[in-house]
Amino acid sequence: MSAFAFTVALAACAVPAHAQTAGNADKGKSVFRQCTVCHSAKEGENRVGPSLFGVFGRKAGKAPGFNYSKAVKDSGITWDEAHLGNYLEHPQQTIKGTRMAFPGLKTPKDRADIIAYLKTLK
């Protein structure tokens, strides 16, 4: 295999930056504090944003009792590591028309930690 073919094959296997870092749920709980202005980790406790209890593995726009934007309801996203990582980094670019005003978490480690924490909310 040529060096070029090897490089192309290696690039095809690349994993997004947010998936490369193993998250720490305890640290994620700490980072999540900034999210609590709008979100709760308690089941059924919606605020300006929906409760994030059970968000991991759930289809976007499906938390009971929350009035989502059409963009989120129609996104077809299931909240897995990749989608959460992208959304937490660039909410408005990931789902155009979302009402979430948060500009995003720029640090891959913070995103990985919050995702690890969100996985515990079940």
Domain ranges across the chain: 3-120
118/72 Cα distance (integer angstroms): 18
Give the pLDDT score at 7. Answer: 35
Mean pLDDT of the chain: 88
3-120 carries CATH number 1.10.760.10: yes
Span 64-91, average pLDDT:
97
Contact 62, 49 (CB under 8 A): no
Give the pLDDT score at 20. Answer: 52
Scanning 13-80, the segments in alpha helix (DSSP H) are 17-20, 25-32, 70-73
Give the pLDDT score at 6. Answer: 35
Residue 43 has pLDDT above 60, yes or no: yes
Cα–Cα distance list, 74 to 63, 83, 85, 121 (Å): 14, 15, 19, 24
- Which residues, 6 or more positions from 15, have their beta carbon under 8 angstroms from its beta carbon? none
Give the pLDDT score at 21. Answer: 72
